[in-house]
Amino acid sequence: MEYFKNIFHALYTIFVGMKITGLHLFEKKVTMQYPDLVHPIRDGLLPPTERNRIAVDMDRCNGCGSCARACPVDAIDVEMIRVVPGDEVPLFYDGTPIKTWVTKYTLDFAKCCFCGLCIEACPTQANRMTPEFEYSEYQRDKLIYHFERLTPEEAEEKKRKWDAYQAEKKKADAAAKSQKNETK
């Protein structure tokens, strides 16, 4: 008797599964022909907490590198140098001076997992998520975005000024140290 119960149960579960499949077979299709029929941004289909492309407002960035440290996949690379006395001083969006130049700020979207940790870690709210999500490329190096304000030539000039300032400071410290030793 157990044998026939097992056969009946197997046929019953197959019938139930086929019934569900048959019902879904004749329902209205939910697949949209993107992008011709529906555009997710235009038609408001994206949720308010979506995680898409990251944008960096360099007027707010102070080059602290907290976003790069928070990134779990090392997609962000930030380099900064201090402002040399006598050089022009960069300003925040509100007009307050920044004491650093951001010479390099790159974000590699091929590595980015869109976790949003860089946005949470930024103390100046320079990083933000945008509703833009369509940015496929054929070459991987086109997925590396550069956000720095300085041109490469300007960045090299700032680095040279900083190196010269450091060398001058070392020379002055050495002179002060030798003068101190002579007075003893």
CA–CA separation, 45 and 37 (whole Å): 13
pLDDT tens per residue across span 60-107: 888 889 999 999 999 999 999 888 888 888 888 888 888 888 889 999
Question: CA triplet 160, 165, 167: central angle to 5 degrees?
Answer: 95
pLDDT tens per residue across span 25-69: 888 877 666 655 555 555 666 777 778 889 999 888 888 899 999
- Whether the CB-CB separation of 110 and 73 falls below 8 Å is answered with no
CA–CA separation, 76 and 107 (whole Å): 5
